[in-house]
Structure 1
Amino acid sequence: MIAETVGVRLDCDGPVATVTLCRPDVLNAQTPTMWRAMSDFARQLPGDVRVVVVRGEGRAFSAGLDLSVAGASGPGSFAELATLPEQECADRIAEFQAAFTWLHRPGVISVAAVQGHAIGAGFQLALACDLRVLAADARLSMAEVTLGLVPDLAGTKRLVELVGYARALEICATGRRMDAAEADRLGLATLVVPNAELDAAVRDLTAGLLANDRDAVVEIKALLAGATSRSHAEQQRAEREAQTRRLRDLAGRGE
């Protein structure tokens, strides 16, 4: 299965789906049209998909928001959004966020394959994924502040969870760029590999994720994703309940 629209493509091959930003001439800068297409991909995803890989064509993952579109006067532009009533503007942004948040879906593990620039919306797209494999030349920045804006594509909570409040504040409030080595030290990278090895590293990681029982992996993701919001006792209870479901399922006594 292949679905393609302006600037972004979905390829499904058995249990692996690949979302590719395909505007290499502008370093895969993103537009509201691409975000709507990515939201549609969430509805088109076959039920047997277990891993979603997000990548960019060419030498960059994504240079962020396409300012030639955002700075114009059409739908999704800064000018158009600023004229909307407050709630309508917030609702429009919620639609944009949906292009990113479906990658949190419980039944799949999402992997960002990041080379070159991952700036602003590009950084937030990488953060939307569960795991991030970075090429050695990756450069990450939460650059919205340089435009007088805030990160609004569901990236702030993920960033705080990964690096802590103080470091997240420093990253967002300065808009500075991080190289792959720093991203690795801060816990933003699952792996950092030489550029030539990025695709192979993602394939190896994907194979490892697919090697084990799907339902067990889904339960593990849910346990870990909810761990920070639970007390120790609540987490232990969640572990017990998840293990009980697995034992019953393996014994053929599941629902």
Structure 2
Amino acid sequence: MTHPNLDVETDGPVRTITLDHPEKRNAQTPSLWAALADEARGVPEDVRVVVLRGAGDAFSAGIDTAMFTAEGVPGEESVAQLAAGGAEAIQRGIATYQEGFTAWAECPAVVIAQVHGYAIGAGFQLALAADLRVAALDAWFAMRETSLGLVPDLAGTGPLVHLVGYARALEICATGRKVSAPEAHSIGLVGSLAPAADLDEATGSLVEALLAAPDPALRALKPLLRGAVAGDREAQLAREREAQTGLLQAMLGGSGA
């Protein structure tokens, strides 16, 4: 079943998946990541393009920060609960979370992130999980994990470095600063820009261009090019988990086994 904060619509060869929790600016939780992984793995064979977008005034504000509080988010695993099981449990948990992002690389369809407003932290990393990004001129991106004493750990570090280079990726992540849509376009993070009012039209034009390509060639092209830049993805994912494990344990006083 679709997650209550996801809306899924299919129109012929195009599937649109909308993060649909606008009152919380599409903040993300573990159950949402599990649902995103299921959606990526369950895309029908006749769907050739998937569009990821956000409802309301933002693509996604990132992780629901209530997960860092004692109360947590009802029905969701809190950060304290994750850390309580010790290092191995933290890494297993993060590995599961990462699947909501990595599964899009394995999806046969071409995945487009349509970004408006802002994409912060997990929102930024979800945009990075897509194959292509289209942004409104008012969009901006930020990695705010370091302000919490953490690192990005949802599979975003590898794609970010490949797109913008090591030095710029380090600066963006370490400072947590806003990257405007025009800057994102100039550094290769975003493929195309459009005024906010024209974002759907710009995304539609890209979808049409992709659908104009012969289906077998497009399906063969995605894994071919992904393989050329992926490097050792599993090792990078493990590095994300290991770095975050130590930081989480330190943050919570070394709780757990």
Q: TM-score, normalised by structure 1?
A: 0.85
Q: Which residue of 1 aligns with 2:248?
A: none
Equivalent pair of 2:43/2:107 in contact (CA under 8 Å) = no
Unpaired stretches in structure 2, ≥5 consecutive residues:
232-257
Q: Which residue of 1 aligns with 2:201?
A: 200
Segments of 4+ moved more than 6 angstroms:
none
1:9 paired residue among 7, 10, 23? 7
Cα distance in 1 for residues equivalent to 2:44 and 2:229: 30
Task: Tell me: CA distance 1:61–1:229, structure 2 relative to 1, closer, same or farther (3 Å).
Answer: closer
SS of structure 1 residue aligned to 2:52: strand
Cα distance in 2 for residues equivalent to 1:108 and 1:70: 35
Deviation at 1:228, TM superposition (A): 3.7
Q: Which residue of 2 aligns with 1:94?
A: 95
Equivalent pair of 2:50/2:110 in contact (CA under 8 Å) = yes
Deviation at 1:215, TM superposition (A): 1.2
Stretch moving more, 74-83 or 116-125: 74-83
- For residues 28-57 of structure 1, the C-alpha deviation after alignment (integer angstroms, 9 at most, x for no partner) is 111112111112213332121111100000
Q: Which residue of 1 aligns with 2:120?
A: 119
Q: Which residue of 2 aligns with 1:153?
A: 154
Q: Which residue of 2 aligns with 1:33?
A: 31
Q: Which amino acid aligns with 2:54?
A: G
User: What is the percent sequence identity of the aligned residues?
Assistant: 50
Cα distance in 2 for residues equivalent to 1:219 and 1:9: 28
Q: Which amino acid aligns with 1:56?
A: G
Structure label with greater radius of gyration: 1
Equivalent pair of 1:106/1:218 in contact (CA under 8 Å) = no
Matched, 1:63 2:56: no
- For residues 83-135 of structure 1, the C-alpha deviation after alignment (integer angstroms, 9 at most, x for no partner) is 01212211111111111111112521100000001000000000000100000
Equivalent pair of 1:19/1:52 in contact (CA under 8 Å) = yes
Computed over aligned residues only, the root mean square deviation of the Cα atoms, in angstroms, reads 1.6
Q: Which residue of 1 aligns with 2:185?
A: 184
SS of structure 2 residue aligned to 1:198: helix
Unpaired stretches in structure 1, ≥5 consecutive residues:
231-255
Deviation at 1:229, TM superposition (A): 6.4
Cα distance in 1 for residues equivalent to 2:70 and 2:98: 21
Cα distance in 2 for residues equivalent to 1:71 and 1:111: 33
Cα distance in 2 for residues equivalent to 1:73 and 1:86: 22
SS of structure 2 residue aligned to 1:92: helix
Deviation at 1:76, TM superposition (A): 2.5
Matched, 1:171 2:169: no
Cα distance in 1 for residues equivalent to 2:4 and 2:147: 27
Equivalent pair of 2:40/2:107 in contact (CA under 8 Å) = no
